[in-house]
Amino acid sequence: MATCDVCGKDENMPYNCRHCGGTYCADHRLPENHDCVGLQDWNDPSGVFDSGFDDSVQRGSSASASSSFTDKLPIDTGPGGPLAYFRGNMTYTFLALMWLTYLLQLIVILVGGPQLHNALFTLHPDNPEYVWTWVSSVFAHQPFPGIMHIVFNSIVIFFFGPLVERYVGSKKFAILFVASGALAGLSQIAIQAIQPGPTAGVLGASGAALAIMGVITVLNPGLKVYLYFILPVPIWLLTAGTALISVFFIGTGGGGNVAHMAHLVGLLIGLGYGEYVKRTQNVTGPSQFQLGGGPGGPGGPGGPGGPGGRRRF
């Protein structure tokens, strides 16, 4: 379910305008009914859109100007522009931010060293007052050579993220992603405070990825996911397996450098929000998903941690 950008009506089957990228109900789906600014961005040598046939199609209307965050950027985000692919699509926007953050991490390590990198990107139990790391650690991942950390998380978000965003809308998806990722990281450093042994910083988007997976599990537990593109498995089984693994390693204090508490908290947030969406909006997910990844997608389980005493999640 999504919200119409013009009237605010909740719509189970929203329309996405191919000209401006906004989301609209049936009454406002036509460009002339939502003062579509996208029509003005097309090359129009014949003056079709400026012929006066509909004076309501104007650039800069208040309704369309608020349809997307990207409308407010001082760069070309219109149809055919370099960022048109990201209009109204927070899933791929967050994926792009993850990889840009990864590149920035490498630059910071080369220029300022691991200490500066940890201060900017790693959420650590010794410095929870570094509030920027509550969010930056969600988009940051284990630096090279641990590139598979971000690759696995990207696979889960790439395939499952658009499904969730389609049913809850871009704004709610963005809140879910950032909030679940931050809470997952904070829960991980909190449990380290009560467990014996050395502490370690955490970084990664697995909390958010598992929250997305949890929402889909509630909306349609029988959804078929082709594990490693080969083996068809219901998503509830993947979710249950991930949860059991996390609970086992939390109870035994093992799991290496994988942040299992962050995994579990992210998953629980997703399951809870999925149940809320299902009850209040009366929606269900799709019946089949043929491109999926596997349980290793959410940053683990297993695999070596990286240098510098960081737990990846």
Give per-residue pLDDT as tens, 71-112.
Answer: 555 555 555 555 555 666 899 999 999 999 999 999 999 999
- Tell me, yes or no, whether 29 and 111 share the same domain: no
- Tell me, yes or no, whether 14 and 145 share the same domain: no
> Domain span at residue 20?
1-36
What pLDDT, on a 0 to 100 scale, did the predictor assign at position 222? Answer: 86
- Tell me, yes or no, whether 10 and 99 share the same domain: no
- Tell me, yes or no, whether 96 and 26 share the same domain: no
State the CATH number of the domain containing residue 253: 1.20.1540.10
CA distances from 177 to 70, 95, 171, 180 (A): 18, 11, 10, 6
- Do the domain assignments include residue 297? no
State the CATH number of the domain containing residue 27: 4.10.1110.10
Specify burial of residue 282 (Cβ count, 10 A radius: 0-12, 13-18, 19+): exposed
What pLDDT, on a 0 to 100 scale, did the predictor assign at position 88? Answer: 67
Per-residue pLDDT reduced to its tens digit, 10-48: 777 777 777 777 788 888 888 777 877 666 555 544 444
- Tell me, yes or no, whether 196 and 128 share the same domain: yes
- Do the domain assignments include residue 75? no
- Do the domain assignments include residue 29? yes
Positions in the chain short of pLDDT 70: 1, 37-88, 196, 229, 253-256, 282-313
Query: Tokens for 136?
Result: 């930056």
- Do the domain assignments include residue 257? yes
At 37, give phi and psi (nearest 5°): -80, -20
Q: What is the mean pLDDT of the chain?
A: 76
- Tell me, yes or no, whether 97 and 30 share the same domain: no
Alpha helices in the chain (DSSP H): 62-65, 90-121, 133-139, 147-168, 170-194, 206-219, 235-252, 260-281
Q: Which helix (H) or strand (E) holds 53?
A: none
- Tell me, yes or no, whether 1 and 150 share the same domain: no
Domain count, the chain: 2
- Tell me, yes or no, whether 24 and 142 share the same domain: no
- Tell me, yes or no, whether 181 and 249 share the same domain: yes
- Do the domain assignments include residue 289? no
Q: State the amino acid at position 157 in one-letter form.
A: I
- Tell me, yes or no, whether 109 and 226 share the same domain: yes
- Tell me, yes or no, whether 90 and 239 share the same domain: yes
Q: Answer whether 54's CB lies under 8 Å from 32's CB.
A: yes
What pLDDT, on a 0 to 100 scale, did the predictor assign at position 26? Answer: 81
- Tell me, yes or no, whether 182 and 100 share the same domain: yes
